[in-house]
């Protein structure tokens, strides 16, 4: 608060507000932030080294219990994979072969499969096909 130019006594008595800033608290908070940042950095560094030291998923080896499970007869339709990384690689190879081959998907209606590259080339040359829009008849619902 200011006395608008009136000069009465010392500066403490002129009506100026005394600062409420506590430098000690600000310094303690700053040091605390620096210390917490350093601790987080050290923890992050050790965690990164730990996870990089773990074996890659490609080096997965089935446990002996998995081999025992193959010898059992299963009553349930669910089967666990003995070697998930290998199964994933095999699945990707199969899917790539399907995506790059010609084939019949369905006889009725006629649906055929062509390689992705060939389909992209056809669409680039001729554009997408135009299909007529057919509204369902009254009383019918979409399948």
Residue 4 in tokens: 């608008």
pLDDT 10s digits, 18-76: 667 778 888 999 999 999 999 999 999 999 998 888 776 666 676 666 666 555 555 66
26 in any annotated domain: yes
Q: What is the pLDDT of residue 84?
A: 84
Query: For 92-96, what is the mean pLDDT?
Result: 94
105 in any annotated domain: yes
- To the question of pTM greater than 0.75 for the whole model, the response is no
More confident site: 127 or 65:
127
69 in any annotated domain: no
25 in any annotated domain: yes
Provide the b/e sequence for 84-115 (b: ≥16 CB within 10 Å).
eeeeeeeeeeeeeeeeeeeeeeeeeeeeeeee
Residue 127 in tokens: 């554009």
60 in any annotated domain: no
C-alpha 82/C-alpha 135 separation (Å) is 50
Task: Tell me the residue range of the domain where 15 lies.
Answer: 11-53
76 in any annotated domain: no
Task: State how many domains the chain has.
Answer: 2
């Amino acid at each position: 608060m200011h006395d608008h130019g009136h000069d009465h006594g010392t500066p403490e008595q002129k009506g100026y507000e005394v600062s409420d800033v506590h430098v000690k608290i600000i310094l303690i908070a700053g040091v605390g932030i620096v210390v917490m940042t350093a601790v987080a950095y050290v923890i992050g560094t050790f965690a990164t080294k730990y996870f990089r030291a773990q074996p890659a998923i490609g080096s997965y080896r089935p446990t002996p219990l998995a081999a025992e499970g193959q010898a059992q007869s299963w009553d349930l339709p669910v089967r666990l994979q003995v070697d998930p990384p290998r199964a994933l690689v095999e699945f990707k190879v199969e899917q790539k072969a399907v995506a790059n081959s010609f084939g019949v998907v369905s006889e009725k209606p006629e649906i055929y499969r062509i390689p992705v590259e060939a389909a992209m080339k056809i669409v680039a040359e001729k554009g997408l096909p135009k299909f007529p829009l057919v509204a369902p008849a009254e009383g019918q619902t979409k399948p």
